């Protein structure tokens, strides 16, 4: 759909702009990228690329800047594969080798490593709890009126919650709870901890609602609660030239501070391994100046959360995508 030379020129412009953050002129392309034609020819092509929407001009007599469409084409067609150095590979390897006992911890390490290698702000979120299946539920008595419920899911993720009561709980009651929950729920999706089990305990056992209610409330909460958003390297973004604009900086802070938009983005659309959102492609005005790239943290095809990068539209897509692919592969094989 785009002639070879136009592709080359577009690629040169995007590469150059990603490096310098300055509008790119025909002269620079001619001298630096040696495409075998003069600046005038490049200018002519640039006019076409602008007409078809791949490039933009900040003002009449300035160089060109990639549009969202330009970035999109770049990401889909022109990206450099394996834009990752041996050093970076080694660094990532060493980081991911850290022994951890909790998956959340591993996600954090991957997230911070991603930020360190790419120099962008990274963000991650745990998997939606209610898609997971229950492996085991255990209740532990703490003191006399406090219970901890521990849920182990088939993804290896452990959720726990504390439940407080107005009356004393006996060890015996706890034992029965453990038996009931495990018999009834093993292998079922988390979402099934719900009314049926509540009614069962109430009718079949001799438990008062004072005991059942708090338990069900807390289990419900822990299953449905949003998993924690983890952010790393927010300060890195502030070193970038686009953050000289107070407007942009403020939008960024609002974005990462309110978290809702982040959550939405991290929880949607995983058609591909790596998902790239450029600017306000998914028309949210808050995102117009930013791009977001995400991937699923998977282990043996089980969903363990989402990890992403948020940065300016002028992002080093090749580098970020390459690093993500590598980390993703490593995590899955771990």
Q: For binding to DNA (CB under 7 A), which residues are involved?
A: 22-28, 36-41, 43-44, 46-47, 50, 57-64
Which one of residues 23, 63, 70, 233 is an interface residue with a second copy (CB under 8 A)? 233
Neighbours of 1 (CB within 10 A): 7
Which one of residues 163, 212, 315, 323 is an interface residue with a second copy (CB under 8 A)? 163
- Cβ nearer to DNA, comparing 27 with 196: 27
Q: Is 140 in the site for a second copy (CB under 8 A)?
A: yes
Query: Could you give the CA distance from residue 148 to residue 140 in angstroms, rounded to a whole number?
Result: 5
For the bound state, the minimum distance from the C-beta of residue 7 to DNA, rounded and expressed in Å, comes to 14
Of residues 192-231, those binding a second copy (CB under 8 A): 218
N- to C-terminal Cα separation, the chain = 41
Q: HSE on the CB side for 295, CA within 13 Å?
A: 23
Listed residue (220, 241, 214) closest to 312, CA to CA: 241
Only one residue has tokens 């495990």, namely 182
Contact 65, 75 (CB under 8 A): no
Q: Is 234 in the site for a second copy (CB under 8 A)?
A: yes
Query: Could you give the CA distance from residue 278 to residue 25 in angstroms, rounded to a whole number?
Result: 23
Of residues 97-126, those binding a second copy (CB under 8 A): 101-102
Partner from a second copy, DNA, none binding residue 50, C-beta < 5-8 Å depending on class: DNA
CA angle at 323 for the pair 318 and 324, rounded to the nearest 5° = 100
- Cβ nearer to a second copy, comparing 21 with 37: 21
Helices (H), 240-310: 246-258, 260-267
For the bound state, the minimum distance from the C-beta of residue 15 to a second copy, rounded and expressed in Å, comes to 27
Q: Is 235 in the site for a second copy (CB under 8 A)?
A: yes
Site string for a second copy, 260-279 (x = CB under 8 A): --------------------
């Amino acid at each position: 759909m785009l002639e070879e030379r136009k592709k080359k020129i577009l690629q040169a412009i995007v590469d150059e702009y990603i490096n310098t953050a300055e509008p790119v002129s025909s002269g620079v392309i001619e001298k630096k990228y040696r495409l075998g034609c003069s600046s005038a020819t490049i200018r002519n092509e640039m006019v076409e690329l602008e007409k078809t929407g791949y490039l933009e001009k900040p003002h009449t007599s300035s160089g060109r800047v990639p549009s969202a469409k330009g970035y999109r084409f770049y990401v889909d067609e022109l990206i450099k594969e394996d834009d990752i150095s041996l050093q970076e590979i080694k660094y990532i390897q060493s980081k991911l080798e850290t022994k951890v006992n909790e998956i959340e911890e591993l996600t954090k390490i991957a997230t911070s490593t991603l930020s360190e290698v790419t120099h962008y702000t990274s963000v991650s979120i745990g998997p939606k709890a209610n898609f997971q299946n229950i492996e085991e539920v255990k209740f532990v008595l703490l003191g006399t009126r406090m219970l901890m419920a521990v849920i182990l899911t088939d993804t290896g993720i452990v959720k726990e919650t504390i439940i407080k009561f107005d009356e004393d709980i006996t060890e015996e009651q706890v034992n029965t709870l453990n038996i009931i929950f495990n018999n009834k729920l093993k292998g079922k999706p988390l979402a099934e901890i719900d009314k049926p089990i509540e009614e069962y305990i109430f009718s079949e056992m001799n438990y008062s609602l004072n005991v059942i209610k708090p338990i069900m409330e807390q289990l419900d909460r822990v299953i449905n609660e949003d998993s924690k958003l983890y952010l790393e390297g927010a300060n890195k973004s502030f070193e970038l030239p686009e953050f000289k604009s107070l407007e942009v900086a403020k939008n960024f802070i609002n974005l990462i501070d309110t978290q809702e938009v982040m959550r939405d983005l991290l929880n949607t659309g995983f058609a591909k391994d790596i998902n790239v959102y450029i600017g306000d492609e998914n028309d949210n005005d808050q995102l117009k100046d930013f791009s977001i790239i995400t991937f699923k943290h998977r282990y043996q095809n089980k969903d363990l959360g989402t990890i992403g990068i948020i940065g300016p539209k002028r992002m080093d897509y090749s580098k970020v995508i390459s690093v993500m692919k590598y980390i993703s592969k490593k995590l899955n094989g771990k």
